[in-house]
């Protein structure tokens, strides 16, 4: 059964595939799945909305074949509406778009819903949290970037905790934090109201992934 907030108040751990060894992606995914993570976070970058480039729906479809974990696809791409169907068909269970990247945010979110995926929105560190208030009603997930999107291994920005707190006071769904999450920063994010921890380096940078997941989960 897929984890939902309605059935649990637990904290979800979502390894970010960006930091895995893609030459052995099946083993990497297997290790975190057996290690007890809840969700697999996949970062999609277009070299335009963010300076970096990563993968597209073809690779997501291959990852889909490697795991039963829910796939949480984080689209760091301009005008994501053009690609939603392809990512959904590739097996995305949740699709998150950036509020800064959409010409018509409401239409884009509506399209994610129509495709039957969980609906997520994300915002860059410089974007005021108020920008997403008009859309909160239709959302399953808000992904608060706690680093500038584009690369793994950056330093957590503590100023973003205010955004998380503010959001939690008006939003009951999932609040994810993404960027620089480790056993030191995770408890602060949870205290502020986050309940999904996205972590790349803190999981795939450790030899024992099960232990790394456990360390994040019990860090509060």
Binding site for ligand DX5 (CB under 6 A): 16, 18-19, 41, 43, 74, 147, 149-150, 152-154, 178-181, 198-202
39 and 3 in contact (C-beta within 8 Å)?
yes
CB of 82 to ligand DX5, least distance (A): 20
- Residue 31 or 43 having the CB closest to Zn ion: 43
Among 43, 72, 140, 182, binds Zn ion (CB under 5 A): 43
152 and 19 in contact (C-beta within 8 Å)?
yes
Q: Which does residue 91 bind out of ligand DX5, Zn ion, none, counting CB within 5 to 8 angstroms by kind? A: none
Q: Which two tokens stand for residue 19?
A: 């930091």
Catalytic amino acids? 43, 178
- Residue 38 or 43 having the CB closest to Zn ion: 43
Q: Which does residue 179 bind out of ligand DX5, Zn ion, none, counting CB within 5 to 8 angstroms by kind? A: ligand DX5
Q: Which does residue 167 bind out of ligand DX5, Zn ion, none, counting CB within 5 to 8 angstroms by kind? A: none
Is 178 near Zn ion (CB under 5 A)? yes
- Residue 161 or 181 having the CB closest to ligand DX5: 181
Binding region for Zn ion (CB under 5 A): 43, 74, 178
């Amino acid at each position: 059964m897929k984890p939902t907030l309605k059935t649990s108040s637990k904290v979800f751990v979502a390894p970010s595939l960006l930091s895995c060894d893609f030459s052995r992606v099946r083993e990497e995914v297997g290790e975190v799945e057996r290690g007890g993570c809840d969700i697999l976070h996949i970062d999609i970058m277009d070299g335009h909305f963010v300076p970096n480039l990563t993968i597209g729906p073809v690779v997501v479809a291959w990852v889909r074949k490697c795991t039963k974990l829910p796939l949480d696809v984080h689209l760091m791409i301009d005008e994501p509406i053009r690609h939603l169907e392809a990512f959904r068909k590739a097996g995305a269970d949740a699709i998150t778009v950036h509020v800064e990247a959409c010409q018509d945010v409401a239409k884009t979110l509506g399209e994610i819903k129509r495709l039957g995926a969980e609906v997520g929105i994300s915002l860059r560190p410089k974007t005021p949290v108020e920008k997403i208030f008009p859309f909160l009603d239709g959302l399953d997930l808000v992904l608060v970037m706690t680093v500038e999107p584009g690369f793994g291994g950056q330093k957590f920005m503590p100023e973003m905790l205010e955004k998380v707190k503010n959001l939690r006071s008006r939003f009951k769904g999932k609040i994810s934090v993404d960027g620089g999450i480790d056993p030191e920063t995770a408890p602060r994010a949870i205290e502020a109201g986050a309940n999904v921890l996205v972590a790349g380096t803190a999981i795939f940078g450790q030899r024992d992934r099960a232990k790394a997941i456990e360390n994040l989960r019990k860090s509060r």
